[in-house]
Structure 1
Amino acid sequence: MVEHDFRYSLLNPHHTLIECRALAPGRYQVTGNGGSIHNDDVLLVTLKGSKTLSMRLTVEKVRHLINPPGQWVAVARGPVFAELAIHQWQVNCDSCKAELDFEFAVDAKLGTKAQKPAAVARIAELGWTTAGEKHQCPKCRENRP
């Protein structure tokens, strides 16, 4: 198993993601160029509509195309979303007032009640802590007695 990074980047046009579309919740068809993709490899792909979020897809089946050379089509499994929604929120550190602008993804069909748990999980991924309505940045968390 090899991990291939296909997150949005114009720096390497020979190793690019052409299309990623959902076939069913948790199953995706991915078309790309380069990277020598094989079964059971992991693809990191940018979420559509996001600047910073990505998802990990595990390749189940890949077909390498003859023309154009280097292009491939894969079927992969990954996160299950009925309807993906990307939200942008902002929190401030209650100790030093540092500001965090962040994005998080949530299944839109779960409604607004699912937004807060998804946001708290994303804040934790970014190294911040949340206790109720209070937030603490990584620097203040390290310096606490």
Structure 2
Amino acid sequence: MTVHDYRYSLLDPTHTLTECRALTPGRYQVTGNGGSIRVGDRLLVTLKGSRELSQTLTVDKVRHLINPPGQWVAVCSGPVFRELEILKWQVDCDGCDARLDFEFAVDGALGPNARTPAAEARIAELGWVNRSGAHLCPTCQGGRL
């Protein structure tokens, strides 16, 4: 199975997404050009409204269109969001005062209590740690605090 990268940062007119929309939570319809998409392949797509977040979708069905040449429509499975929210937060390192400006995705239907765990998960993805409530950047993780 192949991974096809359709994030905004790699746009190419012969290899782009025309549309990516949610059919139901966890099911998506994706229309694109190029890439020789097949069932079982994974699509890496930028989340709408984000400058850096992406999600991975797995192709369940694909139909290659005759006209225009190279265009396809796929039904995919992926992350389950009832109400996708993209939030921008900041965290400061308690070791050196470095600041991390970051985005994270959360299901807005889960309410405000879901925001902190989603933010902590994103911080961990970016290489930061939370030790007993103190956030440490990658440089300061060597034993301070």
Same fold (TM over 0.5): yes
Q: CA RMSD in A?
A: 1.2
* Amino acid aligned to 2:61: K
1:89 paired residue number? 89
The alpha-carbon deviation at position 131 of structure 1 amounts to 2.7
The alpha-carbon deviation at position 5 of structure 1 amounts to 0.3
Taking structure 2 as the reference length, what is the TM-score of the superposition? 0.96
The alpha-carbon deviation at position 10 of structure 1 amounts to 6.0
CA distance in structure 2 between the aligned counterparts of 1:119 and 1:37, rounded to whole angstroms = 33
Pair 1:112 & 2:112 matched: yes
2:18 paired residue number? 18
Deviations 1:51-92 (A, max 9, x none): 010000000000001111110000000000011001000001
1:5 paired residue number? 5
2:27 paired residue number? 27
1:136 paired residue number? 136
CA distance in structure 2 between the aligned counterparts of 1:11 and 1:76, rounded to whole angstroms = 20
CA distance in structure 2 between the aligned counterparts of 1:81 and 1:30, rounded to whole angstroms = 16
* Amino acid aligned to 2:72: W
1:75 paired residue number? 75
CA gap 1:86/1:93 in 2 versus in 1, 3 angstroms:
same
Deviations 1:91-140 (A, max 9, x none): 01111111100000000010100000000000000000013432100111
- SS of residue matched to 1:81: coil
CA distance in structure 1 between the aligned counterparts of 2:51 and 2:93, rounded to whole angstroms = 23
CA distance in structure 1 between the aligned counterparts of 2:88 and 2:101, rounded to whole angstroms = 7
* Amino acid aligned to 2:32: G
* Amino acid aligned to 1:45: V
* Amino acid aligned to 1:125: E
CA distance in structure 2 between the aligned counterparts of 1:11 and 1:83, rounded to whole angstroms = 27
CA distance in structure 1 between the aligned counterparts of 2:21 and 2:107, rounded to whole angstroms = 16
CA distance in structure 1 between the aligned counterparts of 2:71 and 2:11, rounded to whole angstroms = 18
- Number of residues paired by the alignment? 144
Deviations 1:4-50 (A, max 9, x none): 00001364111101110000000000000001100000000000000
Extract unaligned runs of 5+ from structure 2.
none
Extract unaligned runs of 5+ from structure 1.
none
Divergent runs of 4+, >4 A: none
